[in-house]
Structure 1
Amino acid sequence: MKASAFVYPWDVNGDPAAGEWIAGLGLPQVTLASAYHSTRALTPRHPRHRVVTAEHAAVLYPVESERWAGRELRPYAAGDWAPGDAFGEACAALANAGLEVHSWVVLAHNSRLGAEHPGTSVVNAYGDRYPWAPCIAQPATRAYLVELAAEAAVRPGARGTELESLGWYGLAHLHAHDKTGGVGLGDAGQYLMSLCFCADCREGYAGQGLDPDALAVRVREALEPVWRGESPSDGGWAGVEKLLGETEAAATRAWRDSVARGLQEDAVAAVREAAPEGFQVLLHADPVSYHCGANAGVDPAHVLALADGVVVPCTGGAGLVTPFAEQGVERAQGVQGAVIAANFTVVSGMGGRPHALGDDMARARALGANEVRLYHAGLASDGDLDAVRRAIRGL
């Protein structure tokens, strides 16, 4: 099983030993951030710093000014946490250490965009905006995301890309000082709180035969007993249907699925047009299409006919691999087989299980995974990396 670890440019730049210690993990590949959201990150081995604060979502290379001329929505340059061509500098250092570099591109997750252009954000049924979540149904936002995908993915030195957040983002968000967990919303409640009611989505619901004003009322009514703790909101899609009604639920999902599929098709096509032959395109994905977040909900058959494969969240178990693996087997009968990469958190302090990585990888392989992703080499302690090194030797 081919393995790759996620890395930030600031893990590498300014540390002459970084390429050596990352290659020393036994990995042939790294997935290096080229466009990333705001974060506060530990750098436990860097000779110059221990904490890096990326203040806003930014591209980690010089913006191509001609590409973005005349556009209101455009990517933000990084500050002193990733100056200049931070991606290019880190890419070169990693390649010199013998590592194959793929870009890591975060798309529909940008709090600064939402703050400066509030009209781009998802709006819930109560009228609350989610500034971290661009509404992917809006034409201008979609055009921005597609252009960003092409620019940030196909960087000099990159042999492929992994596109994260290429779909709907919703209520759930690893936000600074997040205090939204007071009521257990469950899978169904999260879906209802992630439905967007901006002008474009209202028009989309109308196209599905729904009255958007009545739908917003219905969502609020359905959630009221959840807020009071009188009704559970779990149970997967059946829970959504129970809260919202089967007809309304199906219509909202049809709208959202069509929007997400269209964006994914356009973004992958733009990357392929900009990329050299053989450039690999993967999506961070969840096999349940109504799910939101960094691992965008997708239809497995559709996404594996579109991209070269997927990166699947597996920290809570490798079960999400199975739907993709089943579709990958069918695909392999006619064309090149799909990449099904099981993504494991290997930072103990972030809920990872580096000391069980060997067993977890074996389980993922048994379910159909053929590659592994490790989150995150730069954030992990030396002890965590020792466990990773031992597990990789066993591949």
Structure 2
Amino acid sequence: MRASAFVYPWDVNGDPAAAERIAGLGVAQVTLAAAYHSTRALTPRHPRHRIVTAEHAAVLYPVDERRWQGRELRPYPAGDWAPGDAWGSAAEALRAAGLEVHTWVVLAHNSRLGAEHPDTSVVNAYGDRYPWAPCIAQPAVRGYLLDLAAEAAVRPGAAGTELESLGWYGLAHLHAHDKIGGVPLGDAAQYLMSLCFCPSCRAGYAGLGADPDELAADVRAALVPVWDGEADAKAGIEALLGPRWTELTLTWRTRTAGSLQEQAVAAVRAAAAPGFQVLMHADPVPYRCGANAGVDAVRILAQVDGLVLPCPGGQAGAAGREAVLAPVAAEAGPDTVVAANFTVVSGMGGSPGTLAADAAHAAELGATQLRLYHAGLASREDLAAARAALHTG
């Protein structure tokens, strides 16, 4: 299967050997970050540094000032971790090594935006703001995200894009010195803690016939047994929240996310040349939040060229692979990209040693491509295992 490796510009720029090393893995393309959230990243082979601290969400190229001039919400430029046209410089080196380059665009995940513009953030049923999570129901946020998607995706020389965090972001987000694991939260409790009650979402609930205050109160009441340790962590959303509110909140959130996804893809296609590939990082469970946003597979596959799906590795991950790949493959057309995304960094829970077997299993489930996360972060041993798997395949 065709494979692509995720890469940051700082993995390549300043390291003359990086592009050839990545090409030597056996991948045909790279997915190179063009707009990315804050992070602290290891660069274990770079000749000039070992740790890169990206202090805030930023674009890794010079923005088009004509697009953003005078706008309150606009992309932040990167600091010294990715100066100038960092994406363009890295892309040039990667293409010279024979690799096809696609952009990697992170959208609704931006802590600095939430810190400087707190009214843009998701607000939970208790009134707590999530500054890392822009609320995608707000018109100003949506306008910002649509223009960011079009600009960051269609960089000079890019053959396609992968859009990440194109949907709701919620509670589940690692934060600096995270200390929220004291009470285990299953999928349903995560969902309830991710419901937004900002003015736009309150108006959305009201438009569906709900009293937003009543809904918020019932969400808080539904979470009481979770905080008391009396709830079944495997219980479904309806078991906690009841059928009425479950249906109403899912209707609001899937409508909102689905329309944003369609509009973002349309904005990218309008900015791109014919043949530009548009993929989305996704989860086929519509209520899921985060980097792999929940989607209605039938609806989104009518818009994109395919999906990149999170796949756990190893024998223990077989059921997880089936859960994400099979529903998408069932709806895919003959040319649809169904990309199985495997972490190949052992220290981050990856299983590069089982990649060959995992990829074969993914292919049986309908995967047509592979993604390797992440060529810059992986150790030498992890890269060697990934290389062996790709050359074996």
TM-score class, shorter: over 0.9
Matched residues in 2 for 1:308 and 1:11: separation? 28
Instruction: Tell me the alpha carbon deviations over residues 104-148 of structure 1, each in whole angstroms, 9 at most, x when there is no partner.
Output: 000000000000000000000000000000000000000000000
**Structure 2 gap ranges (5+):** none
Could you tell me which of 324, 331, 355 is aligned with 1:327?
Answer: 331
More displaced, 352-361 or 62-71?
Answer: 62-71
Q: Corresponding residue for 2:39?
A: 39
Aligned length: 386
Moved >3 Å (runs of 4+): none
Matched residues in 1 for 2:230 and 2:384: separation? 48
Q: Corresponding residue for 1:304?
A: 301
Matched residues in 1 for 2:220 and 2:134: separation? 22
- What residue identity is the alignment partner of 2:295? V
Matched residues in 1 for 2:239 and 2:205: separation? 19
Q: Corresponding residue for 1:99?
A: 99
Matched residues in 2 for 1:156 and 1:259: separation? 31
Instruction: Tell me the alpha carbon deviations over residues 1-28 of structure 1, each in whole angstroms, 9 at most, x when there is no partner.
Output: 1000000000000001111101111111
RMSD: 0.7
Could you tell me which of 346, 350, 359 is aligned with 2:357?
Answer: 359
Q: Corresponding residue for 1:129?
A: 129
Cα offset, 1:157, TM superposition: 1.0
The answer to whether the aligner puts 1:383 opposite 2:374 as a matched pair is no
Matched residues in 2 for 1:294 and 1:211: separation? 30
Instruction: Tell me the alpha carbon deviations over residues 244-290 of structure 1, each in whole angstroms, 9 at most, x when there is no partner.
Output: 11011100000000000110011000000000110000000000000
3-state DSSP of counterpart to 1:92: helix
Could you tell me which of 335, 340, 343 is aligned with 1:342?
Answer: 340
Q: Corresponding residue for 1:16?
A: 16
Could you tell me which of 265, 271, 276 is aligned with 1:274?
Answer: 271
**Structure 1 gap ranges (5+):** none
The equivalences for 1:1-395 within 5 A come to: 1-235=1-235, 239-315=236-312, 316=317, 317-319=320-322, 320-328=324-332, 331-332=333-334, 337-395=335-393
Matched residues in 2 for 1:119 and 1:52: separation? 30
Q: With structure 1 as the length reference, what TM-score do the two structures score?
A: 0.97
- What residue identity is the alignment partner of 1:325? A
Q: With structure 2 as the length reference, what TM-score do the two structures score?
A: 0.97
Matched residues in 2 for 1:85 and 1:280: separation? 22
Matched residues in 2 for 1:152 and 1:142: separation? 15
Matched residues in 2 for 1:174 and 1:13: separation? 27
Instruction: Tell me the alpha carbon deviations over residues 148-171 of structure 1, each in whole angstroms, 9 at most, x when there is no partner.
Output: 000000000110000000000000
Instruction: Tell me the alpha carbon deviations over residues 214-248 of structure 1, each in whole angstroms, 9 at most, x when there is no partner.
Output: 0000000000111010112423xxx2111111011
Between the aligned residues of both structures, percent identity stands at 72
Contact (CA 8 Å) 1:185, 1:234: kept in 2 or not? no
Cα offset, 1:174, TM superposition: 2.1
Contact (CA 8 Å) 1:37, 1:109: kept in 2 or not? yes
3-state DSSP of counterpart to 1:281: strand
